Amino acid sequence: MQPIIIVGSGMAGYTLAREFRKLNPEQALIMISADDAVNYAKPTLSNALVGNKHPDQIALADAEKMRLQLNMRIETHTRVEQIKVEEHQLILSKDQQQQSLHYSKLILAVGANPIRLPIDGNGRDDIHVVNSLNDYRTFRETLSRSDKKRVVILGAGLIGCEFANDLQNTAHQVTLIDFAAQPLGRLLPEHVANAFKLGLEKTGIQFILNTTVAQINQQGQDGYQIRLANGDSLTADIVLSAIGLQPDLSLTQSANIEVSRGILTNPLLETNQPDVYALGDCAEVHGMLLPYVMPLMQQARALAKTLNGEQTAVHYPAMPVAVKTPAAPLTILPVPPHVDVTWETESFEDGMLSKAIDTDGTLRGFVLLGATAAKQRLVLTKLVPDLIPIAV
């Protein structure tokens, strides 16, 4: 029997391999990685500075250790050039040489790539992104220079705010810039966003909202001049882009794999092509793109069973997201798309609790700001209907 092949060595790929090995220790398993296949948890990158975690401390295991642990062949620094779905074959390139592998099942766990704004200026190529451990290593090395204190972050979404909190707590001066009128614009109602923003501002974080960056130019020893679309300008020593991520769809076109925002799958995580699956940040499952840890875990457990011969649909219970911003502790259970809700809010000395109630009076999401509100997380989560209650 041909091997099962996983393309991608991020959290999705390794979690699937681990879950599958619990069920089947012998089936041939191959992982294809475009980088060194070091195993680490990417969510830890946005709050690693305050814990003084060196990149080598974030790495959990190298490829060789993971190979032994999971009884799995791992091809590092190898790129998939083409998927031949009819032949169940991959065309690979490594060290400028081409090779091919046949598969019985193929899993795309290729993740997502940073969104880049169309910014002018001779400093645009110096903008950092942190989407991998290697990215974090480069970013940290730049920050370690004693004069690199003024940090501008493009994007006041979840990751941008987490990095801002982390940097501000390590003696940096942080400014967040976002086109939206509030931080976490897609996740929070306005009144909660304002309170959350105030909590971060109390630490010294500055917000510039309702505009975007038009141009970044080098100023020699004085860092960078950043010109905004509204005509204002500011200076920075380092610029970090946290605009967001978009699923990696680069392998889908030649294989005629259907995509929308991500790689389209059914609840079994099957694509439209036979024996080809997708999971993690690249996968749009049952119409939902959920780039968070808990959905990934649910996908991996279900798919591991399916690959082992027990067809299992992914099940999404209510899955709150904890935002790593200690200055304004926040837990969010996002409202499903296309659901109309009314927000009901209860205020506390240290924050607030906002419930999203649909037209039938059902709780469909919530936001917990502060330690007092956070105590109600478990109780509220049990009241929210499953996101995907499916049977196959």
Residue 31: CATH number of its domain: 3.50.50.60
Amino acid type, 65: K
* CB-count burial class (<10 Å; 0-12, 13-18, 19+) for 96: exposed
Residue 308, number of CB atoms within 10 A of its CB: 15
Single-letter amino acid code for the residue at 160: G
DSSP secondary structure of 103-135? -SEEEE---EEE-----BSTTGGG-B--SSHHH
Q: Which residues are paired to 365 by β-bridges? A: 356
- Residue 317 inside a domain? The answer is no
Alpha-carbon distance 85 to 19, whole Å? 25
Q: Is 61 exposed, middle or buried (0-12, 13-18, 19+ CB in 10 A)?
A: middle
Q: Report pLDDT for 52.
A: 83
Look at the chain and report how many structural domains it folds into: 3
Last residue of a domain, one of 219, 241, 263: 241
pLDDT of residue 148: 75
Distance CA 327, CA 363 (A): 27
The CA distance from 380 to 365, in Å, is: 9
| 166: Cβ contacts below 8 Å, ≥ 6 apart | 46, 47, 48, 49, 50, 324
Please tell me the distance from the alpha carbon of residue 88 to that of residue 104, in angstroms, as a whole number: 7
Do 305 and 277 form a contact (C-beta atoms < 8 A)? no
The answer to whether residue 124 is domain-embedded is yes
Rounded CA-CA distance 93/254 in Å is 16
Domain carrying residue 138? 116-241
Which one of 193, 221, 241 terminates a domain?
241
pLDDT at 392: 43
Considering the domain architecture, whether residues 70 and 162 belong to the same structural domain is answered as no
Q: What is the pTM of this model?
A: 0.94
Residue 34 placed within a domain: yes
Query: If you count DSSP H runs as helices and E runs as strands, how many of each does the chain have, helices first?
Result: 9, 24
Residues of the chain with pLDDT under 50: 390-392
The answer to whether the CB of 244 falls within 8 A of the CB of 109 is no
57 and 163, same structural domain? no
CA separation, residue 119 to residues 41, 213, 221 (Å): 30, 7, 21
- Indicate the residue among 186, 212, 241 that finishes a domain: 241
C-alpha–C-alpha distance, residues 311 and 1, integer Å: 19
Identify whether 371 is part of a domain: yes
pLDDT at 146: 66
pLDDT for 303: 98
The answer to the question of residue 319 being in a domain is: no
Structure-token pair, residue 179: 């086109």
